[in-house]
Structure 1
């Protein structure tokens, strides 16, 4: 019996797989950190982005915009800034933060980026935030603070807990800034070509950072345990390249809003994976905070108008 799958079913499956793979990022990072004292955020980022770079270069070439000769130097410069901001700097801050806080908390803090985009837009365009959006933001931040305080109570006193939380929040700010830059660039380059170019720029920026910041860079990376290499390549292929492609395919079939709704399961998936692989546990108040955070983000994500015009 032949089973025919609809476009919606295929798109939903791609979105779910993408959310699952993106959610596993913190698990890969935490496991890699535990393997060797040589592993830090810069080293692991270099392994991740170095293994992903060939795929994004191919994507940029394959989806090349035939009218790129009409794109201004300013647009190219903005693309470089966006790529470095969204997928190099934001990712590096995130990797640093995960050295100090749990995978569960990292995902909840990082999930605040839609609220930051709305807040920044209200300032830039000098528009008031709608009441419904204000309630959503309060829910998101209230839930996040609840999780933060609960985890801080159980964290060792000298493990740089607040430094880690601040680094991840800074990562969310950087990613929100990237999102503010993308609409104009997507209109110029096309979504797929822009994604390939921006991520290629981020990969190159990451590798330059590694070679400048790491003494004896070649020796350091070649003497890493093979298991660390596997985690780094896994981060590049299965947590970066594959879910990016799946998300693109999902958006093509479902649209951005529907794909985002499925992606909202991300924090829950990360928490479940952290319980299974990292032995992390959330109490009832932390689960409540997580649900408040997700509810607020969903309200913002599916609000047709977050700002008053």
Structure 2
């Protein structure tokens, strides 16, 4: 099967195939969202965002490198232009986005972080309006308004909790979401030409080199020596919160299509909210649930538009 093949939305899927695809998409979304919880646990060992992201990529890089080498041997070489585009996309979409996200997590709750990141589709839509002069309808404006009202509700709630760095953390995560939206805008045409698996593998290799290189530029090599718990949590972060979700999401898209897989991924913010409460002891309040609901409804309405 071609790695960027998607399910034909016009052809009805057998119930078993649909349930299997939905299960993969939901599991991938939950695992990917769990990275925020794992990051919070790692911060308890007094490591910073530079070290955290370096350990994450050190453990995940061999997998993506193996896929990249396989694709290099089995598919025609890329043009020089495509190679430079992948370098740029890898730096923006996985390095910068991840680094800003982990920096922000030092200051805000995992529930707020996940909700802000979930606004990425709205940034893509707004970029289409501002850059490509696309007109959007009243339903899309209403969906945007709902999503941003939900974020504001949770943000004000967390701000009232006394965390003076909530604004800084939210701005950093907002920057992460914008960076990833730029990555998505830049990958659309390349995915169709070279395939999603190949593109992700190459981009992740670029990101890994940037994250690991940044560590050795900014931190002494002695900081690679950490308690065993840091290595185990970093391994979980790399394998279960990075590698598995990437491949599970692509497998789900192949089975049930991008639109359905995207809607199934809406479980992510909800799972993060409750995992944060269960593992980190972060409170779950009615205001947070209401804000989460508004964001999910807004994103769901956007996902219905082709």
TM-score tier by shorter-chain length is over 0.9
Q: Does 1:19 align with 2:26?
A: no
Q: Pick closer, same or farther for the CA change 1:300–1:5 going to 2, 3 Å.
A: closer
Equivalenced residues, count:
293
Shift of 1:128: 2.1
The Cα offsets for residues 102-154 of structure 1, whole Å up to 9 and x where unpaired, read as 11110011110000000011111112222111111100001100000011101
The residue that corresponds to 1:281 in the other structure is: 283
> How has the CA–CA distance of structure 1 residues 256 and 63 changed in structure 2, closer, same or farther, with 3 Å as cutoff?
farther
Structure 2 residue corresponding to 1:300, chosen from 295, 299, 302: 302
Match in the other structure for 2:267: 265
Q: Indicate the residue corresponding to 2:210 in structure 1.
A: 205
Contact 2:274 / 2:284 at 8 angstroms: preserved in 1?
no
Q: Which runs of 5+ in 2 are unaligned?
A: 1-13
Instruction: Tell me the distance in 2 between the aligned counterparts of 1:209 and 1:133.
Output: 40
Q: Distance in 2 between matches of 1:6 and 1:129?
A: 36
Distance 1:112 1:24 in 2: 17
**What per-residue deviation string (whole Å, max 9, x for no partner) do you get for residues 25-69 of structure 1?**
1110001101x22x0101010000110001001122334485533
Name the CA distance, whole Å, in 2 between partners of 1:107 and 1:251: 21
244-253 vs 43-52, which deviates more?
244-253
1:68·1:189 contact (CA, 8 Å) conserved in 2? no
Q: How does 1:73-92 map to 2 (within 5 A)?
A: 73-92=80-99
User: Aligned in 2, Cα 1:65/1:6: closer, same or farther, shift over 3 Å?
Assistant: farther
Q: Post-superposition shift, 1:187?
A: 2.1
Bigger mean CA deviation after superposition, 107-116 or 275-284: 275-284
Q: 1:287 Cα deviation (Å)?
A: 1.0
Is 1:10 the equivalent of 2:17?
no
- The yes-or-no answer on 1:57 pairing with 2:65 is yes
For 1:87, what is the secondary structure of its paired residue?
helix
The answer to whether the 8 Å contact 2:158/2:166 transfers is no
After superposition, give the CA deviation of every residue in 1:178-211 in whole Å (9 maximum; x if it has no partner).
0000112112221111111111111111111111
Q: TM-score, normalised by structure 1?
A: 0.91
Report the alpha carbon displacement of residue 72 of structure 1 after superposing the two structures with TM.
2.6
8 Å CA contact retained: 2:95, 2:208: yes
Q: Distance in 2 between matches of 1:8 and 1:280?
A: 34
In the alignment, the residues of structure 2 paired with residue 63 and residue 260 of structure 1 have an alpha-carbon distance, to the nearest angstrom, of: 26
SS in 2 for 1:68: coil
Counterpart residue number, 2:232: 230
Q: Give CA-to-partner distance per residue, 1:84-116, whole Å, 9 cap, x none.
A: 111110000000000000111100111100000
User: Within 2, Cα distance between the matches of 1:68 and 1:46?
Assistant: 31
Does structure 2 conserve the Cα–Cα contact (< 8 Å) formed by 1:65 and 1:190?
no
TM-score, normalising length: structure 2: 0.92
- 2-side partners of 1:63 and 1:239: how far apart? 23
Give the Cα separation in 2 of the matches to 1:288 and 1:86: 30
CA distance in 2, matches of 1:302, 1:49: 34
The runs of 5 or more residues in structure 1 that have no matched partner are 305-309
Change (3 A) 1:74 1:24: same
Question: Secondary structure at 2:243's aligned position in 1?
Answer: helix
- SS of residue matched to 1:280: coil
Q: What's the secondary structure of 2:136's corresponding residue?
A: coil
Residues 47, 140 of structure 1: alpha-carbon distance in 2 compared, 3 angstrom cutoff: same
